[in-house]
Amino acid sequence: MKNYTYKFSIWLFDKDSKTQKISTRKASKIVESQTIKYFGYGTIWNTIWIYTHDNWELVREPSISVSVSFNEKPLQNLVSEYVNVLKSELNQESIMLQVSEENLNFL
């Protein structure tokens, strides 16, 4: 059976101040609530994104990852609306989306 997995990566540093203004716990509750509202289920876990600035200064940014799988591709406007709501509520410039298509078997 075909399976489509959508993995969202949501950073928690505020897009304007570049610092965390919403606690990870509160952000997780927002993400959880919107994931249930839009998809009805999902897997959510806390992560840390690491990257460097141009001067090689290391940045560790608290983040939340969400994974949702479907038997058929979801409506694009549903995914876009979910992303736009989270971007607004968490004051984010963007949310990364990785889509994979695979065969899924239950044994």
Q: Where are the domains of the chain?
A: 2-103
Inter-CA distances, 59 with 18, 19, 56, 76, Å: 11, 11, 9, 32
Stated pTM of the model: 0.88
What average pLDDT does the segment 53-75 reach? Answer: 90
Q: What CATH number belongs to 2-103?
A: 3.30.70.120
pLDDT at 86: 98
* Residues near 82 by beta carbon (within 8 Å), at least 6 away in sequence: 34, 35, 38, 39
Q: Rounded distance, CA 100 to CA 86, Å?
A: 21
Kindly report the average pLDDT of the chain as a whole number.
Answer: 93
**What digits encode the pLDDT tens for the residues 4-17?**
999 999 999 999 99
Look at strands 96-103 and 2-11 and give their pairing: antiparallel
pLDDT at 106: 66
Q: Which two tokens stand for residue 40?
A: 């009805």
